[in-house]
Amino acid sequence: MTEEYGKSTELSREFDIVEELEKTVEEIEKAFEIQETDEVPDRISYLRFLIRDLDSLLSGDNESLRFRRFTITRFK
């Protein structure tokens, strides 16, 4: 059996930058709950503030700026 090389598949997907940032913050927050770090909650709170501000800026006429298209190439 011979495998063919050089073939690829491209997948295109959009994602919401703000949702991705929020999800990441939640994952970081959960990871740090295990450890005792005093400054982490303040930093996460500030990051959430920035995300809310970005969310406000990227609404209405600017909502299209929230989405980015990227392409994944998978080789077989």
pLDDT digits (tens, 9 = 90+) for 2-51: 444 456 666 677 777 788 788 878 877 877 787 767 677 777 888 888 88
Alpha-carbon gap, residue 72 to 76, rounded angstroms: 13
Q: How many residues does the chain have?
A: 76
Which tokens hold the place of 76? 């077989």
Q: Look-up: residue for tokens 């997907």?
A: 13
Residue 3: per-residue pLDDT = 46
3-class DSSP assignment, residue 16? strand
Q: What is the DSSP string of 60-74?
A: GGGGGGGEEEEEEEE
Q: Look-up: residue for tokens 């909650």?
A: 41
Residue 67: per-residue pLDDT = 84
User: How is the chain split into domains, by residue range?
Assistant: 8-75
